[in-house]
Amino acid sequence: GIAQCVDRSEFAPLKNDLILRAARGETVERPPCWIMRQAGRYLPEYHEVKDGRDFFETCRDAEIASEITIQPVRRYAGLLDAAIIFSDILVIPQAMGMQVEMVDGKGPHFPAPLRTETDLQTVLEYKVDVLKELDWAFKAITLTRKKLDGQVPLFGFCGGPWTLLVYMTEGGGSRLFRFAKEWINKRPDLSKKLLQKITDVAVEFLSQQVFAGAQILQIFESWGGELSCDDFDEFSLPYLRQIASKVPQRLSELGITEKIPLVVFAKGSWYALDKLCDSGYDVVSLDWLWDPKEATRINRGRVTLQGNLDPGVIYGTNEMITKKVARMIDGFGGGKKHHIVNFGHGTHPFMDPEKIRFFLEECHRIGSQE
């Protein structure tokens, strides 16, 4: 592909690099805070800007996407230590030639999911030009990085290969995972070809997001926990490892010499924590099923752990939020090392933004205590 037109020397220096220092394993003054899905439907200002438009249309409009990305950073001024670009994990299947629609109130829908060998072959043979297909994503990142003006680092992201295989074969959300399970159990060979193709696209996409201005990267393996331990080792972990080893190589080819922290979130894959701590990632993100103390013990100081408040606590009283924040931060060792505060999964559309503010304030207060 042709290089992106980005003058990286124009980006403002960072005023808050707390999350980058925590990701590198340095001792920090308090745990950095951000929230998965911190932009979006629980914020009235999101609906105002989206104004009934199609979801992917808002992602593809750099002005709108950058505005939505910055909304939570502005609302919670000084409380969030990172922004995450407003986009979706399903833009990789789109770049691989598949049609994906976002149905309001229902979620993603693929009109033609991969069900036959011919379907799969078509995707395997599709020539993906990441720079061309996803150029809108890079433009949105560059614009957002400029607008952020160094306030906080900007996350780039993508879906984990297994999670994307699930969406591409199921055609949307799923309860039984019937088609994805059929693929890996009937045609593990072809399933692995698809996982490899997704991985190759993900490596290029993530690397180009950094070139465009992303300062830290997260991989969302949201359906990790649908795999047995054995199957995770075969159909998820090898591809997550490849991403962690190939992105830095690709970045150095692109002339980027600084170390970009990599975060992996394999939701539900509790059995894989020990291996994930050794898989090339700087940060391992945990869902709320983890006891922070147990996860910290298993980690043995190898990586920084991210998480892991049950998002449902936001529906509770302030007293309950305070209690759970204190337990979380204490469980991760006090927040001065190897911890990034987050939820164990994303925000919900029904959450009260003021409760989320209280959560962030408490993380700052409790996380700053000696």
Q: Is 345 left (phi over 0), alpha (psi -120 to 50) or beta?
A: beta
Task: Report in angstroms how near the CB of residue 153 gets to ligand CP3 at its nearest.
Answer: 14
Cβ closer to ligand CP3: 35 or 247? 35
**Among the listed residues 43, 84, 276, 351, the single contact to ligand CP3 using CB under 6 A:** 84
Q: What is the DSSP string of 214-250?
A: --EEEEEETTGGGS-HHHHHHHTHHHHHHHHHHHHHH
User: Per CB under 6 A, which region of 34-42, 269-277, 292-300, 314-322 contacts ligand CP3?
Assistant: 34-42
Query: CB under 8 Å to 87, separation ≥6 — which residues?
Result: 59, 65, 137, 140, 157
Q: CB of 36 within 8 A of CB of 346?
A: yes
**Among the listed residues 24, 41, 115, 193, the single contact to ligand CP3 using CB under 6 A:** 41
**Among the listed residues 346, 353, 355, 358, the single contact to ligand CP3 using CB under 6 A:** 346
CA pair distance 318, 211, nearest whole angstrom: 41
Within 87-116, the residues that bind ligand CP3 by CB under 6 A are 87-90, 102, 104, 107-108
Site string for ligand CP3, 275-304 (x = CB under 6 A): ------------------------------
**Among the listed residues 18, 22, 30, 55, the single contact to ligand CP3 using CB under 6 A:** 55
Could you give phi then psi for residue 266, rounded to 5 degrees?
-105, 90
Number of shown-chain residues binding ligand CP3 (CB under 6 A): 22
**Among the listed residues 42, 56, 76, 86, the single contact to ligand CP3 using CB under 6 A:** 86
Q: Which residues of 75-113 are buried (b: 16+ CB within 10 A; e: fewer)?
A: bbeebbbbbbbbbbbbbbbbbbebebebeeeeebebeeb
Cβ closer to ligand CP3: 334 or 346? 346
171 binds ligand CP3 (CB under 6 A): no
44 binds ligand CP3 (CB under 6 A): no
CA pair distance 107, 89, nearest whole angstrom: 13
Can you give the binding site for ligand CP3, defined by CB under 6 A? 36-41, 55, 84, 86-90, 102, 104, 107-108, 157, 173, 220, 222, 346
